[in-house]
Homo-oligomer: A and B are copies of this chain.
Amino acid sequence: MSKLIIKNIKLLVAAAHTFPEKVAGKAMQDLPVVENAWLLIEDGIIAGFGPMEKIPSTENAEIMDASDRFVLPTWCDSHTHLVFPQSREVEYTDKIKGLSYEEIAKRGGGILNSAKNMQEADENQLFADAMQRLQEIVRWGTGAVEIKSGYGLTTATELKMLRVIKRLKAESPVTIRSTFLGAHAVPTEFKGNPDKYVDLVINEMLPAVAAEQLADFVDVFCDRGFFSIGQTSKILEAAAKYDLKPKIHANELDFSGGIQTGIKHKALSVDHLEYTGEEEINALLESDTMPVILPGAAFFLNLKYAPARKIIDAGLPLTLATDFNPGSSPSGNMQLIISMGSILYKMLPRETINAVTINGAYAMGLQKELGSITPGKKANLIITKPIPSIEYIPYAYGENKVEKTILNGIVQ
């Protein structure tokens, strides 16, 4: 049995022997901590922790000293598109010049642009590029990530993307969840006949994805100019037959009913939420669905900010994720997302930490194995540089506060 003991931890954060599956409302300000602590890892699993006065015998254990350092659970980034063929800074200048997401899509940019490149992309190259991105986000402290398909938009290419994600799952130490997002946009060939594309998603793509067991979840871009409530419902009903729980893109561009549609189909999460009012909040309050905000996309696209404060103050849980993708949020840096959550969305520092740990885990169905420092959970941990306080993490917004990331008990 491999044993690692981390000692002299200045502050062990989000550590409790039993931990809720998600935290909501006022409880988002709570973060159980142990000062001057030890933590024991056995075979990649958290085995115990406590104050240094009661450190267990360290015989046969590797020892790591974390003096002056904090230890936290790794970030859980529950919404990304990090398998993509190439960066899209070429259309970036158009964005600066003020063209909207929809205008860029009309000019052949946006998702359809990525889809065209994806169809031509080499599977090994896609894998190698994505592995490099995973290594980069691990340096920023991410230990679990959801990755979506959706730049394929043909059956063959969607399957290609999902196979790349499957290979990443097998070969990367990061815990990965895979989401089938065939309904990311209506491809050019189906322009004027989106229902026919929806039929393709339902009758051809979904059975093929299920046959190869390539996806954990299903996603639809349910918003103005993308897929309607009716189309979304049809896809989610079909996906339910394959036990694919929804995690959907909702209310980024309008009060489009996406949130309510997700809830109706027992979505694990509804993501984006720039257009969230009282009606949407009330629907969320009566559900188990996790609201997920994507500050990077709002920052990069200059969208209005989702009402994070209203959501939390209504008693709901909240998650923050990167939306890492080449078009609308070209960064997988969760520390910057934490800072944005705090600076731009007025979330308190502890709320942001809960948002990206236990609530992020919940938004991927991983709350039983990740998201807190709890015996029995995976030893996916961040060891910080010397930092003065939890508040310093969102505050020092341009700095990498992570010194080491540990995944499955192993220093990366």
Chain A contacts to B: CB under 8 angstroms: 86-87, 89-90, 92-93, 96-98, 136, 140, 296, 299-300, 302, 330-333, 336, 342-344, 346-349, 388-389, 391-392, 394-400
Contact = CB atoms under 8 A, between A and B. Distances in A.
Contacts of A391: 89-90, 92-93
Contacts of A347: 96
B398 A296 contact: yes
26 contacts: A87-B388, A89-B388, A89-B392, A90-B391, A92-B349, A92-B391, A93-B349, A93-B391, A96-B343, A96-B346, A96-B347, A96-B348, A96-B349, A97-B346, A140-B398, A296-B397, A299-B344, A300-B343, A330-B395, A330-B398, A331-B398, A332-B398, A333-B398, A333-B399, A336-B397, A400-B400
Closest 9 CB pairs of A and B: A331-B398, A333-B398, A89-B395, A89-B391, A336-B398, A89-B392, A92-B395, A330-B396, A96-B346
A389 B311 CA distance: 40
A333 to B, nearest CB: 3
A372 to B, nearest CB: 23
Contacts of A92: 349, 391, 394-395
Contact of A344 (B86, B302, B343, B388): B302
Contacts of A97: 346
Given A296-B398, A398-B331, A96 B392 contact: no
A168 to B, nearest CB: 19
Nearest to A90: B391
A396 B331 contact: yes
B87 A395 contact: yes
Given A302-B343, A344-B302, A349-B92, A86 B395 contact: no
A396 B92 CA distance: 10
A331 B395 CA distance: 9
A87 B396 contact: yes
Contacts of A348: 93, 96
Given A89-B395, A96-B347, A331-B396, 12 more contacts: A86-B388, A89-B388, A89-B391, A92-B391, A93-B348, A96-B343, A98-B346, A299-B344, A302-B343, A332-B398, A333-B398, A336-B398
Contacts of A86: 388
B89 A136 contact: no
A211 to B, nearest CB: 37
A392 B91 CA distance: 11
Contacts of A392: 87, 89
A300 B396 contact: no
Nearest to A95: B343
Given A92-B391, A391-B89, A299 B343 contact: yes
A397 B299 CA distance: 10
A286 B332 CA distance: 44
A51 to B, nearest CB: 25
Contacts of A136: 399
A31 to B, nearest CB: 14
Nearest to A396: B330
Contacts of A346: 96-98
